[in-house]
Amino acid sequence: MKKIYITTFVLTTLLLSGCSDDYLDVEQTESISTNDRELFNNNDGASSFVTAIYNKFLNWNLSSFSWNGVSSIASDDADKGSSPGDTGSDKDLMDALTYNASSPSIEEVFNANYEGINRCNQAINIIPQLDKADANLRARLVGESKFLRAFMYFTLIKTYGGVPIIDHLPNPSSEEDRLMQLTRKTPAEVYAFIESDLNDAISTLSSKSAYPAAEVGRASKGAAYALLAKVNLYQKNWQKVVDNCDLVTGYSLVSNYADMYKLSGENGAESIFEINGVGSVPAKGIEGYSATQGARGAGGWGWGFNTPSQSLVDAYEAGDVRKNATIIFKGTTLYDGRVVPNTVENDRYNYKAYSSAYTDAWESDVNIRYIRYAEVILMKAEALNELGQTAASIPLLNQIRNRATLANTSATSQDAVRLAIWKERRVELAFEHDRFFDLVRTGQAKAAFTADNNKTFTVGKHEVFPLPQAFITQATGLSIQNPGYN
């Protein structure tokens, strides 16, 4: 669905999100004037409010440099990369787990997701007012908005733990709404809110197959079920994981793993939800996502950050086709014929972020794959194993291994299968923004970071990142910092 990602953002201040350091400095409105109502009171007008949400995912602050720092460089799958002296503002700190509440990446990811949530709240509030737009379309658009809001809140809770729930457009004159924005909720409350949004979305969203080709990237019913299963996974609600995975239908594994990450593999049979990079005129891609991760130095094409670690290289078994589909090694030739010379600075780069074309050498054509059917299979396998149904989980694990040209697992006991599934998640989903959070939720983090150049993961602290100091200062006691961060 290229079109909805690249539409120029021209909805005036009605849809603008603030870019100030002030957490509350976000323009918004709870109603639209008579003139604006007539301007937007049609199918295209209603759709434009949701277009604004998807467009947010193209922004540097939501999907690019800082998010890679938090979700990838901070994990054992990646190193800072680049030149030794180039810190990338704080990517050296992210890599070493020495970041703090004032680190730029910490603040940028937090603020960007709330800017996106503001756009969701705009759409959820205003679309029902547009009574000349088709009723079924309006219901689906609200469902998309709730899915995207749930997606952003899932990012926030994984990253920071409990956060404020802003479930409507705040009235600047309301003390109650001010408190809403500054008071963090418990993880249980945030998860309940996410689940409520996803259940609402499920009731109105279309299946992936129901969308025309031009809109294939929109949030679908299958995406909502898959995300709900993942939310269940993080809460260890194992039976719900199985139940929701079973409701993700109409998808299949593609035969060639590497093909998914080429332009020709975008939104394919395995894709459940991905952020589209670029489309037709006016061309716009994800700001800096590929450029910051491209090979650096003589003969290179990028900044060289977020490089695959030796730990990740060593995690692949002999003959696993996923290694060369995930990691660019210097001295090799890429699928489009580009030669990676031995003169580039780093030994390895992220192949899944590789862009064979740029709109202006900054905005790339690569998509970010966030939910694939392979993960649904692995989630179900993990849940079945935890429910004591190990024999039923093993064939699911083997589906993923066999696609990677690996033999069936030798694991048979519940404990051994658990470890096999966790390892399979690592090599299957590498650089798809899951590894750090997987380490935390499975209790592997301390051992994994010790093995990764003896980095110190402090139990009771590093399970979540600090809340931004700017937010804590503004909250004036309404929200307290996560343990271990000053």
Note the pLDDT of residue 365.
79
Both tokens of 196, joined, read: 């409520």
Note the pLDDT of residue 486.
80
- Which residue(s) pair with 81 in the sheet? 305
CA–CA dist 75, 435 (Å, integer)? 6
Residue type, 13: T
Boundaries of every domain in the chain = 2-205+456-475, 286-366
**CA-CA distances (angstroms) from residue 403 to 378, 391, 398, 423?**
13, 20, 8, 15
> At 27, is the pLDDT very low, low, confident or very high (cuts 50, 70, 90)?
low
CA–CA dist 71, 433 (Å, integer)? 5
Across 235-258, b (16+ Cβ under 10 Å) vs e yields eebbebbbbbbeebeebebbeebb
> At 277, is the pLDDT very low, low, confident or very high (cuts 50, 70, 90)?
confident
DSSP state of 339: B
> At 33, is the pLDDT very low, low, confident or very high (cuts 50, 70, 90)?
low
Both tokens of 5, joined, read: 């990602």
Terminal C-alpha separation, the chain: 44
pLDDT in tens, 218-246: 999 999 999 999 999 999 999 999 999 99
Note the pLDDT of residue 283.
58
**pLDDT(7) > 70:** no
Listed residue (427, 445, 447) closest to 436, CA to CA: 445
* Mean pLDDT estimate for the chain: 91
Q: Which residues, at least 6 apart from 477, have a Cβ–Cβ distance to it below 8 Å?
A: none
**CA-CA distances (angstroms) from residue 383 to 173, 310, 391, 444?**
47, 30, 12, 17
Judge whether 137 and 43 are in contact, CB under 8 Å: yes
In terms of DSSP bridges, do strands 286-287 and 363-364 run parallel, antiparallel, or are they unpaired? antiparallel
**pLDDT(11) > 50:** no
Q: Is 209 exposed, middle or buried (0-12, 13-18, 19+ CB in 10 A)?
A: exposed
Note the pLDDT of residue 55.
92
**CA-CA distances (angstroms) from residue 16 to 170, 217, 294?**
15, 23, 31
**pLDDT(434) > 50:** yes
> At 35, is the pLDDT very low, low, confident or very high (cuts 50, 70, 90)?
low
**pLDDT(450) > 50:** yes
Lowest-confidence region among 34-38, 268-272, 375-379, 431-435: 34-38
Give the CATH architecture of domain 2-205+456-475.
Alpha Horseshoe (1.25)
